[in-house]
Amino acid sequence: MDKRLTSPAEAVAGIKDGAVVMIGGFGGSGAPIELIHALIDQGAKDLTVINNNAGNGHVGIAALIEQKRVAKMICSFPRSADPVVFTEAYLAGQIELELVPQGTLAERIRAGGAGIPAFYTPTSFGTDLAKGKPVEVFEGRPYVQERWLKADFALIKAEAADPHGNLTYRMAARNFNPIMAMAATTTIVQASRIVPLGGIDPEQVVTPGIFVDHVVEVAKPAQEEELNRAGAVYP
Amino acid sequence: MDKRLTSPAEAVAGIKDGAVVMIGGFGGSGAPIELIHALIDQGAKDLTVINNNAGNGHVGIAALIEQKRVAKMICSFPRSADPVVFTEAYLAGQIELELVPQGTLAERIRAGGAGIPAFYTPTSFGTDLAKGKPVEVFEGRPYVQERWLKADFALIKAEAADPHGNLTYRMAARNFNPIMAMAATTTIVQASRIVPLGGIDPEQVVTPGIFVDHVVEVAKPAQEEELNRAGAVYP
Amino acid sequence: MSDVIDIEAIKLSNAQIAWRAAQDIEDGAYVNLGIGFPEMVAKFQPKGKQAIFHTENGVLDFGEAPAKGEEDWDCINAGKKAITIKPGTAFFHHADSFAMVRGGHLDVAILGAYQVAQNGDLANWSTGKGGVPAVGGAMDLVHGAKRVAVLTDHCTKKGEPKLLAACTMPLTGVGCVTRIYTSLAVVDVVDGGFVLREKIPAITLEALQAVTGAPLGTEGPVGELICPEELK
Amino acid sequence: MSDVIDIEAIKLSNAQIAWRAAQDIEDGAYVNLGIGFPEMVAKFQPKGKQAIFHTENGVLDFGEAPAKGEEDWDCINAGKKAITIKPGTAFFHHADSFAMVRGGHLDVAILGAYQVAQNGDLANWSTGKGGVPAVGGAMDLVHGAKRVAVLTDHCTKKGEPKLLAACTMPLTGVGCVTRIYTSLAVVDVVDGGFVLREKIPAITLEALQAVTGAPLGTEGPVGELICPEELK
């Protein structure tokens, strides 16, 4: 009952071609760069990637796309300060895009983690993004039926982790990470600090260890925004 | 922009006859005894009360029922160590009961807070508690459609609160409190400590102040289980 | 009625049933134990196998009951009994707690039963006889856990079978039970039928079938169900 | 084309439009400002009225932008700009953040627009002309907030009306806009039609109607829309 592994490479070794992979983060905050780069090194391809965005610059998800490993993106906002990688792949027809409103994306992921196969939301009613989806009226107002989202793997960036996988997050780097940790068959976490069991106050645990499979310490992790401002390219 | 009030009496003054009131707590943990007793003093009747249980002994929700203020209970487990008050009222036909599986109760409340009018769950499929509810098959498995639960008021017990209503909870006294705080038009909180703005670490806020309307400090609050073990009766 | 008398003498105690169930819990498994009898399972974790217990009211990986007089009633389990924290404990709210249950994150849920049917239907929340109905988390727990195990006396106090062709009491869940630990046997539910895995040596297969309300199939040899005598 | 030229000279600046919108935000209101132009509203909160700002990526009650070089890129808003914490700030995950939005907990959402229709339909996420589509949180923000306000130039750069009988671009939401702050006027959506509340003194009602794509009704007197000159 110790979920610690020794390296990002070991942590992502089991990700196979064709896997559906949720990747935490919103822009650069909370993006598990070392896990993504280990996945690039590992070589899995034909991936479906779920993230709010679709990469920025030439690191992280953008690098994964640039290395032609991503068959499909499910995201709300495939734009960024430097979206050239996704934009070129998309306009060349090399990558599929499922565009989802941001709140619906978050709720679909949370539903996947909570065992809710479908729910209703007013979001997107009457728009192009609701086309083909069932509509039902509750209390006089129309709502769109949305389905859960699950993944084979989630790549998560946490601040502190204990050996059982209890997690905390740093500031707004929390974003999609806790709900993605719930929604994947195998949840892989990079934490800036691994603390002993009992090192996180039970009232301050954000993600309980039941949602976590593997934890690897990445002290002083790269921050995507800082990498991009420095013009970094991976590999 | 200061949500502090001076007394439980002031906090519950606006609750009218016929109101739907969510009351936090699971058994005695997290039960806002002082707010409930202030509500008894205040006199509102014909209430619909939403709680996991239906009172224990002769304090808190049990006392509210004993004073004949509750027309209907929505709960999962109307039993307790000493359930005589609810049991007698129920068997005498004086109180209506809507029995809801505990996870469905929690999810319906969370849905009320999150703007989701309906969702699907496997829970209760094929049982008496699913009678009359729509069933839909997703990915080969049948699910029951459940509706959101909302309330006019929520009575919440927190550990620490700041003047904007950011909250933390004590141990397992958290239970239904954070989700009920989300699902009511007016959320009234009793906190064991009111701390200055900034007194709660932004990463450790459990209920953000947007879900809270009124905060009243009740230092050293009564604990329902302890009251009952001492044989307390209210009023 | 001689069979019934024999069975009362030879059957396993609740502690022995709980002990047997505990032997199947893998190291690192996330486990929810139903209120009452199933809670005993925690006492019998085999050495070297560390299970992590979940309780519906928002606590994961909690510690043992505190000493009498040391209770903190804000730190309780779903049975409203006092528990303790230990290194690794986490608190969370009720919707997150049932996301763990209903989202399939538990490895095992262990529950009591009034009746279990050969297709895995479970009745454990209401005898259907009136009074105040109460369901708690039972209907949630039977969905989502990877294994749903039942602990039960093999027969009712009147000697009637609790393992049946079909439940007669109100259902808790449809086709949800995967394994039944009884006072006489270990029975799996496979493809709509009971499969006998183990029985106590003191009962014959024929006698066991006689107190079981649906056919007990077998797949390969039936193991001997032997539990520590000191738990009798 | 003389009308168009006049309008360019007399119209309010974006800062002035943002200033006007800020005057309507009540003390203690929970407010989400859309990425870009609407973010300016935060700068113009009237003294004594303290709004609390929400950003989609899980921050409530955040502080101003940090000084250049002081940025912590784990502390950003939905526009990926650096923000700061202050006493009262709370962090939470994305599903909780959109529970705030979609659960009706925001008092005001203030968004930009390509087009607004007289029934409150909003088009602000796609021109429908191809390229990479992106929606972000716009379709969520238009539902749930008690007031959904739009900040926009009254006309496009080509001088065409942006307030229309019906949107021609892909919709963000149906019947969702409650008030429009333009470079020439303040317009409400009431029962399927535009109602003019205020206009800048330099334009006549007729001239304003001429650059508006649907009838501008009135209810009582039309106020004068006067903003600080220094924001021009």
pLDDT per residue as tens digits for the range B3-51:
999 999 999 999 999 999 999 999 899 999 999 999 999 999 999 999 9
> Is the per-residue pLDDT at B186 higher than 90?
yes
Do C and D touch, 3+ Cβ pairs within 8 Å? The answer is no
Please indicate, yes or no, if residue B104 is contained in any of the structural domains. yes
Interface contact flag, B171 A138, Cβ < 8 Å: no
Q: What is the pLDDT of residues B123-165, one digit of tens each?
A: 999 999 999 999 999 999 999 999 999 999 999 999 999 999 9
Q: Kind and range of the H or E element at A120?
A: strand A118-121
Q: What is the 3-state secondary structure (H, E, C) of D77-135?
A: CCCCCECECCCCCEECCHHHHHHHHHCCCCCEEEEECCEEECCCCEECCCCCCCCCCCC
B-chain residue closest to A121, CA distance: B116
Burial D103-115 (b: 16+ CB within 10 A, else e): bbbbbbbbbbbbb
Verify whether residue D230 is a known catalytic residue: no
What average pLDDT is seen over chain D? 95
Q: Kind and range of the H or E element at C219?
A: strand C216-224
How sure is the predictor about A100, in pLDDT bands with cuts at 50, 70 and 90? Answer: very high
Residues of D in contact with A78 (CB under 8 A): 132-134
Please indicate, yes or no, if residue D1 is contained in any of the structural domains. no
Smallest Cα distance from D38 to chain A, Å: 18
Helix (H, G, I), strand (E, B) or coil at D7: helix
Which tokens in the block code for residue C74?
A: 């804000």
Residues of chain C with pLDDT > 70: what percent? Answer: 98
Residues of A in contact with B111 (CB under 8 A): 119
Range of the domain at B158: 8-109+149-229
- What's the rounded mean pLDDT across residues C22-40? 95
Cβ atoms of A30 and D74 closer than 8 Å: yes
> Is the per-residue pLDDT at C73 higher than 80?
yes
A-chain residue closest to B106, CA distance: A114
Please name the residues in contact with B207: beta carbons below 8 A apart, sequence gap of 6 or more: B156, B158, B165, B166, B167, B169, B177, B178, B181, B182
How sure is the predictor about D198, in pLDDT bands with cuts at 50, 70 and 90? Answer: very high
> Is the per-residue pLDDT at D1 higher than 70?
no
Q: Kind and range of the H or E element at B217?
A: strand B214-217
Range of the domain at D15: 7-225
Interface contact flag, D139 A179, Cβ < 8 Å: no
pLDDT for residue D5:
54
- What's the rounded mean pLDDT across residues B54-79? 97
Query: In which residue are the tokens 């599986």 written?
Result: B101
Catalytic residues of C: 56
CATH number, domain at C42? 3.40.1080.10
pLDDT for residue D130:
83
Q: What is the pLDDT of residues C124-162, one digit of tens each?
A: 999 988 889 999 999 999 998 999 999 999 999 999 999
Smallest Cα distance from A136 to chain B, Å: 10
Please indicate, yes or no, if residue C1 is contained in any of the structural domains. no
pLDDT for residue D7:
86
What average pLDDT is seen over chain C? 95
**Residues facing A59 on adjacent strands:** A56
Residues of B in contact with C133 (CB under 8 A): 78, 97, 99
> Is the per-residue pLDDT at A43 higher than 80?
yes
> Is the per-residue pLDDT at D4 higher than 70?
no
For chain B, give the longest Cα–Cα distance. 55
Residues of chain A with pLDDT > 90: what percent? Answer: 98
Interface contact flag, D134 A226, Cβ < 8 Å: no
Which of C35, C74, C126, C127 should one mutate to test binding to chain B, selecting the residue with the greatest count of B CBs within 10 A?
C74
> Is the per-residue pLDDT at D110 higher than 90?
yes
Burial C43-55 (b: 16+ CB within 10 A, else e): ebbeeeebbbbbb
Q: Respond yes or no on whether ipTM tops 0.95.
A: yes
pLDDT for residue A125:
98
Please indicate, yes or no, if residue D232 is contained in any of the structural domains. no
Give the number of domains in chain A.
1
Phi/psi for B63 (5° steps) reads -65, -40
Cβ atoms of A26 and A76 closer than 8 Å: no
> Is the per-residue pLDDT at A84 higher than 80?
yes
Taken in order D167, D173, D177, D182, is the CA torsion positive or negative?
A: negative
> Is the per-residue pLDDT at A192 higher than 70?
yes
Which tokens in the block code for residue D101?
A: 């939005």
- Candidates A92, A47, A97, A91; CA nearest to A67 is A47
Residues of A in contact with C52 (CB under 8 A): 1, 164, 209-210
CATH number, domain at A163? 3.40.1080.10
pLDDT for residue C5:
54
Please indicate, yes or no, if residue D231 is contained in any of the structural domains. no
Give the number of domains in chain C.
1
Give me the residue from C94, C138, C170 closest to B106, CB to CB: C94
Give me the residue from B115, B121, B202 closest to A116, CB to CB: B121
Residues of A in contact with C89 (CB under 8 A): 202
> Is the per-residue pLDDT at C3 higher than 70?
no
> Is the per-residue pLDDT at A27 higher than 80?
yes
> Is the per-residue pLDDT at D36 higher than 80?
yes
Chain C: list its partners (3+ Cβ pairs within 8 Å).
Answer: A, B
pLDDT for residue B4:
98
Q: What is the pLDDT of residues C188-216, one digit of tens each?
A: 999 999 999 999 999 999 999 999 999 99
- What's the rounded mean pLDDT across residues A219-235? 97
Please name the residues in contact with C69: beta carbons below 8 A apart, sequence gap of 6 or more: none
Residues of A in contact with D135 (CB under 8 A): 76-77, 99-102, 129
- Measure the CA–CA gap between D8 and D155, rounded to whole angstroms: 10
Please indicate, yes or no, if residue C137 is contained in any of the structural domains. yes
Cβ atoms of D66 and D43 closer than 8 Å: no
pLDDT for residue D2:
46
Residues belonging to chain A with any Cβ–Cβ distance to chain B shorter than 8 Å:
107, 111, 114-122, 136, 138-139, 141, 143, 147, 168-171, 174, 202-204, 206
Query: Which residue type is seen at A215?
Result: V
